[in-house]
């Protein structure tokens, strides 16, 4: 009987030791990997900024060093979205995380009164803006970050406007979303994103570009083909794009005026 008790105790002891050792390994791995994961996430986002700016293609593989070099050619602005005042530029501005700020008391602003349903309760006080020029084509782009709720997830994207008119869409790039694969997840499909190119973001001062149900007329300046079976996700896209375009419009007007004055000097 004593031997049986010893055997049972020994089994539990071994199991406990194994679990304890495994827990230590798992915890250590999490601590060690956290900085690596953060670096990879930063590189992923920065690459998507460069894609939206038209400085690299989606399938280009570049190092972190090359990514940093290209970002140095981009004018990165952190703007107070209430006053349109630039509060930081360059690397300092790039450190700003809108999604974190939107959840932080003192750094967030409640979202109220907009006709566009972005699906979020709050946003950060500040916003980022990227101004880039392709050294080969001399094409200028102004890139705005977008964040809003789809059907199942909060979606993140960049929309690029032609720097010459601050209105013609040059690209739309969803890079983080958790919508249904094959349905709402098609917002990441390059073929669908290509249908935004050449459309007009604004009609006068108001955001006008929108996804419709079914196919958009060929001559439509503002309408984009819908995604079959993804009506609610498309509604989220419309709310997200419309909300941020409306919020950034005064900033875009200010940047355009500065560019005009600079060109006349």
Structure tokens at 263: 């060109």
Q: What was the pLDDT predicted at 18?
A: 74
Give domain limits for the chain. 1-73, 74-264
Distances (CA, A) of 211 to 9, 157, 238: 66, 15, 6
pLDDT, one tens digit per residue, over 195-206 is 999 999 999 999
pLDDT, one tens digit per residue, over 216-228 is 999 999 999 999 9
Q: Residue 79 CA to chain centroid, in angstroms?
A: 16
Q: What was the pLDDT predicted at 39?
A: 77
Q: Is the pLDDT of residue 161 over 60?
A: yes
Distances (CA, A) of 52 to 40, 56, 57, 78, 104: 18, 8, 9, 17, 27
Q: Is the pLDDT of residue 155 over 60?
A: yes
Looking at residues 10-38, what average pLDDT do you find?
A: 67
Q: Is the pLDDT of residue 158 over 80?
A: yes
How much of the chain is helix, strand and coil, in % rounded to 5? 45, 25, 35
Of the candidates 43, 47, 59, 255, the one whose C-alpha atom is nearest the C-alpha of residue 161 is 255
Q: Is the pLDDT of residue 265 over 60?
A: no
For helices 2-52 and 64-71, the axis angle rounded to 10 degrees is: 40
The pTM of this model reads 0.86
Q: What was the pLDDT predicted at 196?
A: 98
């Amino acid at each position: 009987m004593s031997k049986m008790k010893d055997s049972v105790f020994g089994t539990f002891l071994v199991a406990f030791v194994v679990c304890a050792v495994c827990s230590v390994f798992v915890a250590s791995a999490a601590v060690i990997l956290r900085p690596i994961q953060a670096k990879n996430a930063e590189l992923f986002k920065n690459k998507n900024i460069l894609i939206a700016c038209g400085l690299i293609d989606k399938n280009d593989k570049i190092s972190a060093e090359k990514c940093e070099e290209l970002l140095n050619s981009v004018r990165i602005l952190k703007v107070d979205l209430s006053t349109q005042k630039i509060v930081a530029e360059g690397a300092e501005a790039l450190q700003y995380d809108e999604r974190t700020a939107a959840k932080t008391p003192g750094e967030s602003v409640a979202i109220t009164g907009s006709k566009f349903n972005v699906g979020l309760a709050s946003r950060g006080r500040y916003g980022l803006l990227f101004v880039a020029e392709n050294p080969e084509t001399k094409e200028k782009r102004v890139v705005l970050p977008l964040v809003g709720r789809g059907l199942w997830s909060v979606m993140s994207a960049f929309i690029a406007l032609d720097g010459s008119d601050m209105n013609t869409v040059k690209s739309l790039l969803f890079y983080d979303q958790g919508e249904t694969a094959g349905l709402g997840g098609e917002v990441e499909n390059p073929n669908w994103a290509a249908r935004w190119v050449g459309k007009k973001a604004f009609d006068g001062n108001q955001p006008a570009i929108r996804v419709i149900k079914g196919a958009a007329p060929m001559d439509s300046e503002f309408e984009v083909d819908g995604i079959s079976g993804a009506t609610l996700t498309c509604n989220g896209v419309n709310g997200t794009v419309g909300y941020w375009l409306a919020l950034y419009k005064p900033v875009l007007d200010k940047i355009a005026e500065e560019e005009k004055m600079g060109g006349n000097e």
